[in-house]
Amino acid sequence: MYKILVILTSLILVCCNGQETEKPIKKNQKMDNQNLEYITFGGGCFWCVEGVFENLKGVESVVSGYSGGHKANPTYQEVCTGETGHAEVVQVGYDPAVISYEQMMDVFFFLHDPTQLNRQGDDIGTQYRSVIFYKDDAEKSRAEQALKTSEASGRWHGKYVTQIVKFEKFWPAEDYHQGYFDANPNQPYCSAVVAPKVAKFKKHYGELGMLKPEAVK
């Protein structure tokens, strides 16, 4: 019985699914700047991805949500079953005069392991797949080139399994998922998984001068 309790406790600490809370948190930034461009991609639990990209210079909005599935208005619980076909994603609005598409892709491939199929660490399922959604052929080509560049760099050992898929629809996640890490830094999954990723990101990209002033500590 003791061993079973230890195993269950470990799973709770390292898995995104089942860790949510409806604690009131901050709202996302308005996405009404006409100079912005938008990228939608997924690299595991969206709490991790959102917690990183909101710290970059030139990023004006980051919204967690769902894309790539077949069900309209999916809920978090439905997506977590893996049966709706959606991936957990973020939609990022950024100013290309401040940060380029290629720089955004560099951060994306730095943040997660693109060689893991339908998982990131102990988060397992198609909802955690590595995926980039493109809007047109030009953006598809840029995504393909970014993938080739990262793969050739040797940053991750192995072949990338990142999907590059035509964008169709983005469904924003429930309000309590927006800004989740900032609002819940001591929540078990956040402290064990998200925080180390954010710290690693800040160290690397802080040295490159790519962080917002408030993100530099």
Give residue 73's region: left, alpha or beta (phi > 0; psi -120 to 50).
left
* Catalytic annotation, pick one of 45, 48, 80, 190: 45
**Cα–Cα distance for residue pair 206/46, rounded to 1 Å:** 22
User: Would you state the structure tokens that stand for residue 183, as one six-digit string?
Assistant: 């609002």
* Burial (CB count within 10 angstroms: exposed 0-12, middle 13-18, buried 19+), residue 152: exposed
Does residue 45 have an active-site annotation? Answer: yes
For Cα atoms 193, 197, 203, give the angle at the middle one, nearest 5 degrees.
150
> Looking at the annotation, which residues are catalytic?
45
